[in-house]
């Protein structure tokens, strides 16, 4: 029986790779809903190929173009961000892939959980911003949150059949990005084009910049805290440039389990889509002869301060991770547009963490307010720099 999939953010990096997985397994999966914010041309092509029940274009200005292009197909067309959440109520959806980037993914992810849908989560920011709220809602609705990030998928697989009480700590591996081993002087004149050249992974621009600054790993640390119900001291990060060991779990007896594979996001996507079964794939296999040396090293938290700031936000709790995420979104946007340099991004984040209002026990409305206020605070700081 086919599993019907809804993809929030189908035109982005994760969304397009998810559709590639679905394309290669037509007997296993069907596409029920596709959504995009602005990229109507790709959304139209995807809709024509996969024939979903419905598509949603978040930008209402794009609705006429999408509607006209699909009028001869049996596909419902909706527009607006509210429609993203409303589509999650469809009874025919078996699994939702939350692949939106950033804060924009929080509301529709909560809507999917509220509708009782299992969620394959690639939008790590949902847990960074409001992890306690998201996981409590998932528990209340008795739905599964299946990790799509390669690191969290690795931890999830290593924990299969294990008792949570026997986990001592986890190690999230990081490639180190394009600037691993560089000195501070080497990073003074880094351009966006330099930072977008990731050595191992093919990702969207926001995540690639986050990887270069190590904020992506910091966000993953916070995500892991909520996914696996860990304390901050139980989470560590190691640099692993080969990106073959995707993450590890250390148990109370001292043994360590690792999950390995080629650096290909389609592997964790397929695992999440097929769970609890593994599905045969034609993807390339890991050739150990091609990796005669696997190396590991501690991260440089002084040079890549975003990672240290993420650990600090996790320790402080409350709405501080939300502040961290919002400030980073503003900083990355400013870096990509040439407003600030690469090394200035953590300055923006640190400023917002020090000057924003702290809320110890935030609710959803607090997260919304915190995000909007932090974005404005960050932009003001950037403009005055």
Domain hosting 128: range is 3-147
How far, in Å, CA of 302 to CA of 187, rounded?
13
Residue 222 in any domain: the answer is no
Confidence category of residue 144, pLDDT binned at 50, 70, 90? very high
| 201 domain-assigned | no
Q: How confident is the model at residue 30 (pLDDT cuts 50, 70, 90)?
A: very high
CA dihedral 152, 155, 159, 164 (to 10 degrees): -80
**In this structure, is residue 53 part of a structural domain?**
yes
Instruction: Provide the pLDDT confidence category of residue 385 given band limits of 50, 70 and 90.
Output: confident
Mean pLDDT for the stretch of residues 152-173: 97
Residue 209 within any structural domain of the chain: no
Long-range contacts of 156-160 (CB under 8 A, 24+ apart): 156/227, 156/228, 157/259, 157/271, 158/247, 158/248, 158/249, 158/257, 158/258, 158/259, 159/228, 159/249
pLDDT value at residue 88:
94
How distant is the alpha carbon of residue 335 from its chain centre?
20
pLDDT for res 205:
86
Residues found in the chain: 385
Residue 280: per-residue pLDDT:
95
Q: Are strands 145-147 and 76-79 parallel, antiparallel or unpaired?
A: unpaired
The answer as to whether 26 is a domain residue is: yes
Q: How confident is the model at residue 202 (pLDDT cuts 50, 70, 90)?
A: low
Residue 199 has what pLDDT? 67
Classify residue 271: in a domain, yes or no: no
Lowest-confidence segment of 83-92, 176-185, 283-292 by average pLDDT: 176-185
CA nearest to 148, candidates 5, 30, 329:
5
Query: CA 379 to CA 376: how far, in whole Å?
Result: 5
Q: Quick one: pLDDT at residue 200?
A: 64
Question: Which CATH number fits the domain that encloses residue 62?
Answer: 3.40.50.720
- Picking from 55-59, 82-86, 147-151, which range would have the lowest pLDDT averaged per residue? 82-86
- CB atoms under 10 Å from CB of 60, counted, come to 12
- Cβ-proximal residues to 20 (8 Å cutoff; 6+ apart), any chain: 266
Residue 228 belongs to some domain of the structure: no
Q: What does each C-alpha distance from 39 to 46, 62, 165, 181, 310 come to in angstroms?
A: 11, 9, 45, 37, 31
pLDDT at position 203, please?
66
- Residue 86 in any domain: the answer is yes
What pLDDT shows up at residue 201? Answer: 60
Q: Structure tokens of 143?
A: 């739905």
Sign of CA dihedral 352, 355, 361, 364: negative
Q: What is the mean pLDDT of residues 215-226?
A: 97
Give the pairing type, strands 235-239 and 54-57: unpaired
Q: What is the pLDDT of residues 329-384, one digit of tens each?
A: 999 999 999 999 999 999 999 999 999 999 999 999 999 999 999 999 999 999 99
Asked if residue 332 lies in contact with residue 382, where contact means CB atoms within 8 angstroms, the answer is: no
If one compares 104 and 235, the residue with the highest pLDDT of the two is 235
Please state the separation of Cα 350 from the chain's center in Å: 22
Residue 265's pLDDT band (boundaries 50, 70, 90)?
A: very high
Taking CA atoms, 16 is separated from 41, 43, 118, 226, 308, in Å, by 13, 10, 20, 27, 32
Count of domains forming the chain: 1
Rounded to 10°, the helix 320-336/125-141 angle is 140
The pTM is what?
Answer: 0.94
Predicted pLDDT of residue 160? 96
Strand partners, 259: 247
């Amino acid at each position: 029986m086919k599993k019907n999939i809804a993809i929030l953010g189908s035109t982005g990096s994760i969304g397009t790779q998810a559709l590639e997985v679905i394309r290669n397994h037509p007997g296993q999966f069907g596409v029920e809903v596709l959504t995009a914010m602005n990229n109507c041309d790709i959304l139209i092509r995807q809709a024509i190929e996969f024939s979903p029940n419905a598509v949603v274009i978040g930008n209402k200005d794009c609705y006429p173009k999408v509607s006209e292009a699909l009028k001869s197909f049996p596909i419902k067309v909706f527009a607006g961000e509210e429609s993203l959440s409303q589509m999650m109520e469809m009874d025919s959806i078996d699994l939702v892939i939350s692949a939106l980037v950033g804060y924009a993914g929080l509301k529709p992810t909560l809507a999917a959980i509220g509708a009782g849908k299992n969620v394959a989560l690639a939008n790590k920011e949902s847990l960074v911003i409001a992890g306690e709220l998201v996981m409590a809602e998932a528990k209340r609705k008795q739905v599964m949150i299946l990790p799509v990030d390669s690191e969290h998928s690795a931890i999830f697989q290593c924990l299969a059949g294990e008792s949570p009480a026997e986990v001592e700590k986890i190690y999230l591996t990081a490639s180190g990005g394009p600037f691993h081993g560089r000195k501070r002087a080497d990073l003074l004149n880094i351009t966006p084009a330099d930072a977008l050249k990731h050595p191992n992974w093919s990702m969207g621009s926001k995540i690639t910049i986050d990887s270069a600054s190590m904020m992506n790993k910091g966000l993953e640390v916070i995500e892991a805290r909520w996914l696996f119900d860990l304390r901050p001291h139980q989470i560590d990060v190691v640099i692993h440039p080969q990106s073959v060991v995707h993450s590890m779990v250390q148990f109370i007896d001292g043994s360590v389990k690792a999950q390995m594979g080629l650096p290909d996001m389609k592997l964790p996507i397929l695992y999440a889509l097929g769970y609890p079964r593994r599905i045969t794939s034609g993807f390339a296999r890991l050739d150990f002869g091609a990796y005669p040396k696997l190396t590991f090293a501690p991260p440089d938290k002084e040079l890549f301060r975003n990672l240290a700031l993420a650990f600090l936000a996790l320790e402080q709790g409350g709405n501080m991770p939300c502040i961290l995420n919002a400030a980073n979104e503003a900083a990355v946007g400013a870096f990509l547009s040439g407003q600030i340099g690469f090394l200035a991004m953590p300055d923006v984040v640190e400023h917002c963490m020090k000057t924003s209002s702290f809320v110890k026990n935030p609710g959803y409305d607090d997260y919304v307010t915190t995000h909007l206020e932090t974005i404005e605070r960050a932009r003001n700081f950037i403009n005055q720099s």
